[in-house]
Structure 1
Amino acid sequence: MTVIRRTLIVCAVGASLLASGLASAQDIKPRLIRFGYGLNEQSNQGRAAKVLADEIEKLSGGKMRLRAIGSAALGSDVQMQQALIGGAQEMMVGSTATLVGITKEMALWDTPFLLNNVQEADALLDGPVGDKVRAKLEEKGLIGLVYWENGFRNLTNSKQAVTKLEDLDGIKLRVMQNNVFLDSFKSLGANAVPLPFSELFSALETKAVDGQENPYNTILSSKFYEIQKYLTVTNHVYSPWIVLVSKKWWDGLSKDEKNVLLTAAKTSRDFERKDTRAEAAKALDELKGKGMLVNVLPAPEAARMRDKLTRVNAGIAANVGMDLWQETQTTLTKMRAKK
């Protein structure tokens, strides 16, 4: 065999191996993750979803990539939860309130006037009580990674200022698809109408409902000020969001991949809470500037609401289990005693 021919053969083999290697590299695609959420890309949910996506890509060295899909494009919270359980979608963030039909312990977070401030919320959600509630999801086909903050909920409507309990009488108020919220506002005299969030703006615009209740951030980012005149500061419920993973999909991940998701989720949680609170501090002034008439519910009227909700709270305690309820109350009592 001549030197020239040997050289040509070696070159040909080398080129073949190089081409094969390039093909193999191209075949190794990153693990894609569809992450659904209800609000728009400019909202606090949207900003935190971007942080989560960036962290996952960075921590995985590009081997995992999260595609954040907002504006309920993948469906309502309830629809996405079912998609996760069935393994048709990988991840989402949504309200804990819409999970109550799947995991009854989630109703704990719907307890009216349970928490006084965000410090209590953080301690409860990130501590043993929050961990126990999250752990209950696994047997239902979901993995709860972390809690994000939605915030303290307040009332808006297009009919009149709510300055006393009786002002709620007959107001058609959209509530989440959750029996605690339905029972709570029925007890307060409102005509509670359960609707998915994705249908809310249209329902308010067409007067199918008169009002709704959400944190300042959501009222602002969803532009409810365009169709709602009155905002009453009630802080009646602290509302968390929860980052969820499909258990079917989770079970197929390596230990390293699971660690990437959990670490990234904790980073997104810390960012989201700080971002949400900073935005909420400014959102109320912005809503006033956009023409909303804002009033603070007087303390005696808030106390009257609490009294009206005693039966609802007793029902929540029975539903979530007395052990969990008592642990929650004991934890809060200890925190408040330290002040």
Structure 2
Amino acid sequence: MRKQLSIAAWAALLSIWIASPVAAAERVLRLGYLFSQTSHLGAGAETFAREVAKRTGGAYRIEPYPNGTVGGEVEMVEELRLGHLDMAFITNAPFANLISEFGVFDIPFLFRNAAHAQAVFDGPIGQAYLEKFAQKGLVALAWGENGMRHITNAKRPVTKPEDLEGLSMRVPQSDVMLKGFRALGVKAEPLAFPALYGALQTGQFDGQENPIAVISASHFEKVQKHLTLSGHVYSWAVIVVSNSVWNTLDSGGRKAFVEAARAGGQVSREAAGRAEAEGVDRLRQAGMQVVAGIDRAAFERRLQETNAEFGRTFGPEIVRRIKAVP
């Protein structure tokens, strides 16, 4: 009797295993990003996770780690390279210093607007730059978006280059952006994003610059009085996977991850675009004084020598090709 019960129990367990092979084979991967789950990156990450599960038949489950819980973006890049983090949705901030060619995208006023930038990244230039991540042992799946960057400060309205002179500003850890702002007379210094709100609150910096989605989600209106819609740099984002994960995927799995990443990247663009369109009014209603337009030509004249130097650094041909994209 005991033998019959044992056989019956084993048969039941076997039937459960056969009926649910996906559940038995599910692999959990950690996905880190800097902002909240309700942010534009969070929206893209959620779509990416959902699409991975759908396209792999539930074989993979992506667990989000938002709000920099696995470290800042510089740390996330290093963790990816070491294989300690599976994947991440990272903005442009750390990459110019890691892969020097990416500095070209930080040239001030290189892009006319977000639509121009998206056309560049979706075309041959963008595809070629996706492949450059391999130089540092990373696999880039698809582009997403952080948004056009705008200036905030606690001191005065900014409409022309002279208005920036003497302001202390936090700038991302990009040598190109630092040099660009210093050419405008700004006392610019880098600082990791998680420390930024406190630095603005204590007056360590007069101002900073970020996309509207980030300014709004971070509630910088509480520590900054003036917002200038400068659109001086396009901040891209990218979904990156570690080699240790990528090397375990077969061709079908790789295709599923890339397609899922493209869907997630597109959602992040749409969310960033909505934040740009709707966030300015919310910031205005919260008390920020908004300068809706700048004298872009004046800024470009002031930066002419510096931008010419950038052109020599990265090559005038790539700058020309970027500007020529319709």
TM-score (norm 2): 0.92
Query: For the structure 1 residues 163 and 123, does the alpha-carbon distance in structure 2 shift closer, same or farther, using more than 3 Å as the test?
Result: closer
Deviation larger for 75-84 or 138-147: 138-147
Taking the aligned partners of 1:253 and 1:68, their CA distance within structure 2 comes to: 20
Residue 304 of structure 1 aligns to a residue in which SS?
helix
Which aligned pairs between 1:158-307 and structure 2 lie closer than 5 A?
Answer: 158-299=154-295, 302-307=296-301
Which residue number in structure 2 is paired with residue 333 of structure 1?
324
Deviation larger for 156-165 or 170-179: 156-165
Residue 66 of structure 1 aligns to a residue in which SS?
strand
Which residue number in structure 2 is paired with residue 19 of structure 1?
13
Query: For the structure 1 residues 334 and 293, does the alpha-carbon distance in structure 2 shift closer, same or farther, using more than 3 Å as the test?
Result: closer
Contact 1:162-1:297 within 8 A present in 2 as well: no
Tell me the CA shift for residue 227 of structure 1: 0.7
- Consecutive unaligned residues of structure 2, counting only runs of 5 or more, are none
Identity across the alignment (%) = 31
Which residue number in structure 1 is paired with residue 311 of structure 2?
317
Contact 2:156-2:226 within 8 A present in 1 as well: yes
Q: Higher Cα Rg: structure 1 or 2?
A: 1
Taking the aligned partners of 1:97 and 1:90, their CA distance within structure 2 comes to: 20
Deviation larger for 26-35 or 162-171: 26-35
What is the count of residue pairs matched by the alignment? 324
Aligned: 1:113 with 2:99:
no
Aligned: 1:145 with 2:141:
yes
Residue 41 of structure 1 aligns to a residue in which SS?
coil
Taking the aligned partners of 1:96 and 1:319, their CA distance within structure 2 comes to: 19
Taking the aligned partners of 1:298 and 1:23, their CA distance within structure 2 comes to: 64
Residue 139 of structure 2 aligns to a residue in which SS?
strand
Query: For the structure 1 residues 148 and 87, does the alpha-carbon distance in structure 2 shift closer, same or farther, using more than 3 Å as the test?
Result: same
Residue 234 of structure 1 aligns to a residue in which SS?
coil
Which residue number in structure 1 is paired with residue 75 of structure 2?
79
Contact 1:182-1:193 within 8 A present in 2 as well: yes
Contact 1:97-1:110 within 8 A present in 2 as well: no
Taking the aligned partners of 1:39 and 1:334, their CA distance within structure 2 comes to: 31
Taking the aligned partners of 1:32 and 1:59, their CA distance within structure 2 comes to: 15
Which residue number in structure 2 is paired with residue 69 of structure 1?
65
Taking the aligned partners of 1:255 and 1:292, their CA distance within structure 2 comes to: 50
Taking the aligned partners of 1:48 and 1:256, their CA distance within structure 2 comes to: 22
Tell me the CA shift for residue 327 of structure 1: 4.2
**Alignment-mate amino acid for residue 305 of structure 1:** F
Contact 2:33-2:41 within 8 A present in 1 as well: yes
Contact 1:91-1:246 within 8 A present in 2 as well: yes
- Consecutive unaligned residues of structure 1, counting only runs of 5 or more, are none
